Amino acid sequence: MRANKATEHGRCLKCRRPLRKLSLDGYGPKCRAKLRRNARQDATNPKWQVAKALELLELGAVIPLRQNRIFLVVADDGTEVYRTAATGQCNCPAGLRSVRCYHAVAAEWVAAA
């Protein structure tokens, strides 16, 4: 049985559609455009959080765990993996102190896209 090109590279992490081309971040072109649009429109977070959240999205470090509500987010140094909710809860050191972190910002964008 021959695998078609769409299934060789996997599926989009957001919409689960087959990817036709290899995507380093795991998102298809339409979902990636929605994520970037949400990031540009977000004026409520500090610029450094927006930059770090965009970096997480570009590296494919935001992985949906349950129905686009709970996410696994890799730390910026790559040593830790945090569980983050789209509503803002995170088990990173900042999130445990009830401070909004950039992991939660990235998860919120993915859930909104």
Is 36 within the bounds of a domain?
yes
pLDDT in tens, 87-112: 889 999 988 888 889 999 888 888 88
- Indicate the burial class of 45 (C-beta count within 10 angstroms; 0-12, 13-18, 19 or more): middle
Distance of CA 67 to the CA centre of its chain: 13
Is 58 within the bounds of a domain?
yes
Is 74 within the bounds of a domain?
yes
For residues 14 and 68, the answer to whether their CB atoms sit within 8 Å is: yes
pLDDT in tens, 62-77: 888 877 789 999 888 8
Q: What does the alpha-carbon distance between residue 110 and residue 13 come to, in Å, rounded to a whole number?
A: 9
Residue-range definition of the domain harbouring residue 68: 29-112
Is 94 within the bounds of a domain?
yes
Question: Considering its fold, how many domains does the chain have in total?
Answer: 1
Is 92 within the bounds of a domain?
yes
pTM above 0.85, yes or no: no
State the pLDDT at residue 9: 55
pLDDT in tens, 32-41: 888 777 777 7
Is 5 within the bounds of a domain?
no
Is 45 within the bounds of a domain?
yes
Mean of the per-residue pLDDT values of the chain: 81
